[in-house]
Homo-oligomer: A and B are copies of this chain.
Amino acid sequence: MESSLKLFDTLTRKKVEFEPINPPHVGLYVCGPTVYSDVHLGNVRSFLTFDVVFRYLNFIGYKVRYVRNITDVGHLTDDADAGEDKIAKKARLEQVEPMEVVQKYTYGFHEVMKIFNILPPSIEPTATGHIIEQIEMVEQIIARGFGYEVDGSVYFDVRKFQEEEGYGALSGRNIDELQNNTRALDGQSQKRDPLDFAIWKKAEKGHLMHWPSPWGEGFPGWHLECSAMSRKYLGDEFDIHGGGMDLKFPHHDCEIAQNIGATGKAGPKYWMHGNMLTVQGRKMAKSEGNGFTPEELITGNHKLLEQGYSPMTVRFFMLQSHYSSTLDFSNDALRAAEKGYNRLMEGYQRLEDLKVSESSSVNIDDWSAKCKSAMDDDFNTPILISHLFEGVKMINLVASGRETISEDNFVKFKKLFEDYIFVVLGFKLEGNESNEDGAHTQGLMELLIKLRKAAKLNKDYTTADQIREELNSLGISLKDSPDGTSFEIN
């Protein structure tokens, strides 16, 4: 397996050669959604980032096992893990079983992924489906001296881990500074140190989701599930762990601590983090009121939206920026993306009609190498897109006869151009062609009815009859009445 792929490893903060542990296999783990509410566009960006990583790794020949979890329990309402389980809270509000909430939002999440043509992962494990594996991991962490139980809860000993292995490498947090910033919260007095985090929580009375464990009835700490599930499906050591930038701390630093705490191994070889989507410079978040849903985006039904945008326009908008940069949402930027995407797809549609020549004046190998090196350079989709526009230019020049392309080159170019658009960047033809057709039928019929009326007025009955008969043969019948002519599609 030859590859010259480089990626930016957020742990070492360096762009490095990608050398998988066990090629051609690649293990990729990405933190999935917490299914207690609808996903918003900011979440979509993160999943899209790793969709393209998954697609490109497959495209260059790796066999990728892509695991993206569903957090259906254990995500506390604040990161100091003193809060209430988010899912259980919502469930009590709605007077329903927590798994009903989970079901509703898992379906919703899958719908959204489909709308944006984000591929399903190879495995989509749930936290509630891996309680046994999480309990086993807690036992191992305790056995290796990095966890301690107090009254039915188990905490990770951050101070000890810091001394022996070093804590916070990913986020670069300094443990003493963290300590100074940590307030002593109620109910946390059982921790040896305020920085310690729960890996198993005792279920208080009324808590809806709990399971038996060696420490009594309880539920896993939020950080634990990703450690347990990445390990189960990818092994103690695997290739890439991804997630949104905001998960670096504490979630991912805690994962590393848990992994080493349980097995002595850190888990992923490379860490990748996608950057945020902002709106007018502020992070998109439900709490900010700027986190519109995909549906609002498509319909334009949100105060921040001047119009609706198609899912592929949004996908294009996001991929025109590198995943590691922040991306600011604005109507101007979206409209520009809409134009850009349409221009790209027009190029694609024109491709089919190109005439081939004896020889080529265009250099396809060169172009192909540039596309590949863009993606090999830490999945640089904006550069790839600029090369695809070079491709569109080439198509136009060949179409107008100012450049020529040989059959061999055409076949090669066409395959690559299409692969980059549909396979790697994951665009898809949108169904609105047919919606437009619906609108067209109405407009075209109005025109034909007008022409027929004019023909009749001019006593040109041949034309009037021709229109009626040809429409009949299309399965469309005209009905004349005192109010005018209407049509019916049979």
Contact = CB atoms under 8 A, between A and B. Distances in A.
Given A438-B437, A440-B437, A440-B489, A471 B447 contact: yes
A65 B120 contact: no
Interface stretch (A7-15, A97-105, A171-179): A97-105
A434 interface: yes
Contacts of A475: 436
B128 A131 contact: no
A148 interface: no
Specify which of A120, A128, A436 lies most central, judged by the most chain B CB atoms within 10 Å of its CB: A436
A444 B435 contact: no
A355 interface: no
A486 to B, nearest CB: 10
Contacts of A476: 440
**A65, A434, A467 interface centre (most CB from chain B within 10 Å):** A434
B444 A445 contact: yes
A122 B104 CA distance: 8
B126 A489 contact: no
Contact of A103 (B120, B433, B434, B440): B120
Interface string A101-138: 01100010010000000001111111011011000100
A100 B123 contact: yes
Given A132-B131, A448-B448, A99 B126 contact: no
Given A439-B474, A444-B445, A447-B471, 7 more contacts: A100-B123, A132-B212, A437-B438, A441-B444, A444-B448, A451-B463, A451-B467
Interface of A: 65, 97, 99-100, 102-103, 107, 110, 120-126, 128-129, 131-132, 136, 211-212, 233, 431, 433-441, 443-445, 447-448, 451, 454, 463, 466-467, 470-471, 474-476, 489
What are the nearest 6 A-B pairs in CB distance? A129-B129, A434-B434, A437-B437, A444-B444, A443-B474, A99-B123
